[in-house]
Structure 1
Amino acid sequence: MSDLALRPLRRRARLIPSGWAVFAFGVAVFAVLPIVVILTTAMENTGALWSHIVAGILPQATRTTLTLLVGTAVLVTVIGTGCAWLVTAYRFRGRAFLEWGLLLPLAVPTYIMAYAYMDVLSPLGLIQGVIRDLLGYSSPREFRLPDIRAMWGAITLFGFVLYPYVYLTTRMMFLTQAANLVEASRTLGTSRSAVFWRVALPLARPAIAVGVSLALMETLNDIGASQFLGVRTLTASVYTTWIVRNDLAGATQIASAMLVFVVLLIWLERFARRRQRYASNAQRSRAMAARPLTGAKGAVAFAVGFLPIFIGFIGPASYLLGAAIRRIEFAGISPQIVRATLNTVTVSAVATLLVLVAGFVVAYASRIRPGPWTGSFLRLSTLGYAVPGTVLAIGILIPVAALDRFIDRSASEWFGLSTGLLFMGSGCALVYAYTARFLAISSGGIEAGLSRIAISYDHAARTLGHTSTGALLKVHLPLSRTALTAAGLLVFVDCMKELPATLLLRPLNFESLSTLLYGEAARGTYEDAALAALVIVAIGMLPVTLLARVGTSSSDPVAFTDGAQESRSGRGIFWKTSGRRSAST
């Protein structure tokens, strides 16, 4: 049969969706459903309620949120970009430690950072006590430092926890810039400081924009640190309106307003690099020659780079370790801690498995059936990470609660039995929230891993008689095992640290490590929560180790730019580059 006669058959075959495309469509619907529910519910609950929210809640909460976002953006940009240039452009004693040590604050969630410093910097805490002893004062009434429970305290804590997002992306861009650009500017008489401002910084601006947008999404998602520090953000307003005032409709309205912030952040990130064009000859490019610093200059450089590590990780981690040891010596390990750890590990493991399966479905469908539809399914599956946990929790609660009521009513009518809160009470809603929120990590990392496998492997497998599923089992799964492992580790740790969605969707009498810490800190019993916080930080070290391995290796310009260009929301740039490099090893 001629090629001309085969064209209609091929066109008809492309119109018939494959099983993988259908499954990918289901995953996309699964991920987008909470956002659709939020928007439709918010439009239904209009009228006097909305006018009250607009007049009484949104103005103050919006101003507070904007102030926090702007302050955090400035601080993470200064710290992250400055540290990235320091360890890239200069060589001094201790630089090797700083290269990976500057990533350590990623292991400390913002609510744990706030919890630790609230106790340490309180009027009766260690630091103020030592200062009063040195100055000769006897009580907090005579001398006390400014209260950290303020906007400046929140901005400072967020900045020193979230700067690694900017540090990692910006340093990778500094490493990929060819040395001849810097050398050309130097031959034209440009000083080393002017090279940073006029050459390196403009080239790294897209990477800075990506890092800042990721840090701001984490700031917008936070609820624990904001509550502890008395900063009433939109996220805190959603939680208070829903839980304290028992007003789900009002919480839905505020959540819909928060989506505007999410869209704005994504648009700003895309706008900042809309004209990004980066080309590099990988065979001829070489790293920029670092300027050696010795003596006092080297010591100052190390001290500058060490300060963010101390404030963002060593300080709070040392406090948690000391408090946990004292608590264990006094009362041993509480059974409540053991139960919370088991609950956290179980739910996180189940969610991680579902996230990996769903991520592989959308990534593999996009590979074997490339086109606008499967590409859209892949992009839609990543939207959940851009949505704060409180907003996502509301979007999940409404349909899941309705499904619970329907099943209970049907079971009562047909069998005379009451099923109760079948999905809400069993933790399925919480697993749903974790899966929808962290699906971007899985799909992005797995897609990056699959992209390293040559398409000729697919053709060879099909020539040997394997179906697409057979090729997956025989070829793609073994070759993408490293990317799967990396994505699974990152998802598992993020599930363990997630606080907002866990607070709102956990079943009755269910405590995770994060909610246990939140409850103890809210009651002021800091010593009881220290062990839970220490466990979270210790487990959070696992993805930091992985990121340090990626960040300190020689960077691949193509991997970085592809990851940046393909990043839609969430942490796509990290996981894409991480997945690609892992797949290549």
Structure 2
Amino acid sequence: MRKILICIELALPRTFRLPILLTFRAVLRHLPLLLIAGVLGLPVLALLGAWLPGTASTAPLPVLRAMAETVLPGYLWTTLWLALGVGVGTAVVGTGAAVAVTLFDFPGRRSFEWLLLLPLAMPAYVTAYAYTDFLQFSGPLQTWARTAFGLEGRLLPEVRSLGGAVLVFVVSLYPYVYLLARTALAERVPQLMEAARMLGAPLSRRIAEVALPLARPAVAAGVALALMETLADFGVTSYFGIQTFSTAIIKAWLAMDDPRVAAQLSTMLLAFVLVLLWLERRAQRRLRFSIRGAGGAAAVPTALSGWGTVLAWLVCGLPVVLGFAAPVGFMLRPLAADWSVLPWERFLEWAGNSVRLGGITAALALGLALALGFAGRRTPQGPGRFVARLVGVGYAVPGAVIVVGVLLPVAWIQQQFPHLGLAAVVTTTAVGIVWAYLVRFCAVALQSVESGYARLPTSLDESARLLGAGSIRLAREVHWPLLKRAAAAGALLVFVDVMKELPATMVLRPFNSDTLAVVAYQLARDERLGEAALPSLALVLVGLVPVLLLSRALRSR
């Protein structure tokens, strides 16, 4: 590299040597970051490019106009009603559980603190399969009731409905609100509630006028996260037959065979998600302000007895039962009834494919996160900060949107260079699906690495530089030993997220490479819910690992 710079310097006029060389060196120094930004940002840019004229021979605006006059309002209203129900439900359930375990003392409170996190291990589509298998017309509950009481017809409302989807999402996603609200309430609220009690305020007024207003930013941030997961979902809405934007995108791509319309619908959904992401970031900033300066001895929680204890058990116990215990029990029923119907011979193949894709993605995401974290450490105001923000947006992008964003530039390059064979490489190998995974989940590893770097004092870097250590030696011998635990946590989270990802895996997976998530969806769609129990339970067991680690970290803190 030094010889190349010397040759360039000799070839340039003397007047322009210094500025051109400085610019060239800056570009070379930040070239890896620019490449990372290009790889991870290309899918989103490809979606925006679908609105440019002349990018395809067909005109998509008439198609969108026809959809706006027919089916698009239905997609929009269904998505809005679903988001409204999930937002209200997660806010009520998560805030109620956080208030119960933080401000009150009752038998079993310590156990409920971590039991309330267990629904995080349950993918929402797995919960949907379990409830459908148990509560549908031919399920065991209605069959038993008709036989025992001599009844006929349907005894329960249809599970596969908008109300059923709202219930599934609420019991699966309320931990986002619970975690943030619990943290906000535990930091500052007990002291202020004690001060309000000394001023003569009753318990109901202390909760309504002290605790809940201070927890409002945390609740808003948790609801925004839950809504982003709801908009990104494909498994529940597709299985229940609910027409939302995610299912519309997949239908526009696969059924209508119109990638530009799918891309433009994706940009609409992406706009909704970015608004939610902005609201979540804004609420997080307000949350940090509201708990700043917290300290002092924590006030003693209010002891409950009698009906107060029963109410606290209901508030904390029902979400755990509906979000974890009941779905797991429903899926264990076919395992206990008849083991011979389960696809044991292919289970190891599906699990191997899931583990392979998860391991490859976790390793690559961790490498990218370490590179971006180190670049942000060395130059906090440099391009590394922009790339880190770009990577962070990818986690909020739904999987169906990323699929369209990945395939659009591949299709364009294939049209321009047909002999290159890029489409075959992306769609028939693991390249495309790993690319989509990195766009979606690299932010998880980056957040863990950045949190690890935040705990490292900058004096370590200064001391290493004074001792003559270069950048590579600094990262290898100083940073890496202190970042191992944070890096391992980030890789584990990426691995678990990849195992549970459904829409991107379903569209981009290589041939004969079905994963546990895809197989569970296909078996459930074919009404083979008993056989879907085995891969679904495997996904739950994998998801339990980070949940148990999180609960252990909260208890130790």
**TM-score over 0.5 (shorter chain):** yes
Is the counterpart of residue 351 in structure 1 residue 361 in structure 2? yes
**Which residue number in structure 1 is paired with residue 385 of structure 2?**
375
Check whether the contact 1:172–1:551 (CA below 8 A) recurs between aligned residues. no
1:234-273 matched pairs, under 5 angstroms? 234-272=245-283
Q: Tell me the SS of whatever aligns to 1:38.
A: helix
**Which residue number in structure 2 is paired with residue 219 of structure 1?**
230
Check whether the contact 2:342–2:534 (CA below 8 A) recurs between aligned residues. no
How many Å separate the matches in 1 of 2:29 and 2:159?
52
Which of 250, 256, 278 is matched with 2:290 structurally? Answer: 278
1:434-473 matched pairs, under 5 angstroms? 434-473=437-476
1:8-87 matched pairs, under 5 angstroms? 17=26, 21-44=30-53, 45-87=59-101
Check whether the contact 1:76–1:212 (CA below 8 A) recurs between aligned residues. yes
Structure 1 residues 308 and 55 mapped into 2: Cα distance closer, same or farther (>3 Å)? same
How many Å separate the matches in 2 of 1:536 and 1:275?
35
How many Å separate the matches in 2 of 1:512 and 1:498?
10
Structure 1 residues 332 and 292 mapped into 2: Cα distance closer, same or farther (>3 Å)? same
Over residues 142-194 of structure 1, what are the superposed CA-to-partner deviations in whole Å (9 max), with x where a residue is unaligned?
x5211111111111110010000000011011111153311111122211221
How many Å separate the matches in 1 of 2:275 and 2:41?
18
Q: Tell me the SS of whatever aligns to 1:552.
A: helix
Check whether the contact 1:345–1:496 (CA below 8 A) recurs between aligned residues. yes
**Which residue number in structure 1 is paired with residue 186 of structure 2?**
175
Please state how far the C-alpha of 1:444 moved relative to its aligned partner: 1.1
Q: Tell me the SS of whatever aligns to 1:123.
A: coil
Q: CA RMSD in A?
A: 2.3
Structure 1 residues 406 and 320 mapped into 2: Cα distance closer, same or farther (>3 Å)? farther
Check whether the contact 2:188–2:291 (CA below 8 A) recurs between aligned residues. no
Check whether the contact 2:217–2:286 (CA below 8 A) recurs between aligned residues. no
Please state how far the C-alpha of 1:503 moved relative to its aligned partner: 1.2
Structure 1 residues 42 and 228 mapped into 2: Cα distance closer, same or farther (>3 Å)? same
Could you state the TM-score of these two structures normalised by the residue count of structure 1?
0.86
Over residues 207-243 of structure 1, what are the superposed CA-to-partner deviations in whole Å (9 max), with x where a residue is unaligned?
1111111101100011111112121100011112222
How many Å separate the matches in 1 of 2:411 and 2:63?
22
Over residues 268-299 of structure 1, what are the superposed CA-to-partner deviations in whole Å (9 max), with x where a residue is unaligned?
334546655235446x4233321122344323
Unaligned runs of 5+ in 1: 1-8, 412-418, 555-585
Please state how far the C-alpha of 1:397 moved relative to its aligned partner: 1.1
Structure 1 residues 266 and 337 mapped into 2: Cα distance closer, same or farther (>3 Å)? same
Structure 1 residues 85 and 432 mapped into 2: Cα distance closer, same or farther (>3 Å)? same
Over residues 331-367 of structure 1, what are the superposed CA-to-partner deviations in whole Å (9 max), with x where a residue is unaligned?
4643332211111110111011111111111111011
Q: Which amino acid aligns with 1:509?
A: N
Please state how far the C-alpha of 1:325 moved relative to its aligned partner: 3.8
Structure 1 residues 271 and 470 mapped into 2: Cα distance closer, same or farther (>3 Å)? closer
1:117-516 matched pairs, under 5 angstroms? 117-134=131-148, 136-139=149-152, 141=153, 143-177=154-188, 179-272=190-283, 277-278=289-290, 280-281=292-293, 284-327=295-338, 329-331=339-341, 333-403=343-413, 409-410=419-420, 421-516=424-519
Unaligned runs of 5+ in 2: 1-17, 54-58
Q: Which amino acid aligns with 1:38?
A: L
Over residues 386-413 of structure 1, what are the superposed CA-to-partner deviations in whole Å (9 max), with x where a residue is unaligned?
11000011000122344566676147xx
Structure 1 residues 318 and 404 mapped into 2: Cα distance closer, same or farther (>3 Å)? farther
Q: Which amino acid aligns with 1:206?
A: P
**Which residue number in structure 2 is paired with residue 116 of structure 1?**
130
Is the counterpart of residue 551 in structure 1 residue 550 in structure 2? no
Q: Which amino acid aligns with 1:166?
A: V
Q: Tell me the SS of whatever aligns to 1:409.
A: coil
Instruction: Give the share of equivalent positions with the same residue, in percent.
Output: 35
Please state how far the C-alpha of 1:508 moved relative to its aligned partner: 2.4
Please state how far the C-alpha of 1:13 moved relative to its aligned partner: 7.8
Please state how far the C-alpha of 1:25 moved relative to its aligned partner: 2.7
Check whether the contact 1:405–1:421 (CA below 8 A) recurs between aligned residues. no
How many Å separate the matches in 2 of 1:438 and 1:458?
29
Please state how far the C-alpha of 1:265 moved relative to its aligned partner: 1.1
Q: Give the number of aligned pairs.
A: 533
Q: Which amino acid aligns with 1:63?
A: W
Q: Which amino acid aligns with 1:434?
A: Y
Check whether the contact 1:105–1:312 (CA below 8 A) recurs between aligned residues. yes
Could you state the TM-score of these two structures normalised by the residue count of structure 2?
0.91
**Which residue number in structure 1 is paired with residue 8 of structure 2?**
none
How many Å separate the matches in 2 of 1:543 and 1:467?
35
How many Å separate the matches in 1 of 2:525 and 2:189?
51
Please state how far the C-alpha of 1:20 moved relative to its aligned partner: 6.5
Check whether the contact 2:225–2:280 (CA below 8 A) recurs between aligned residues. no
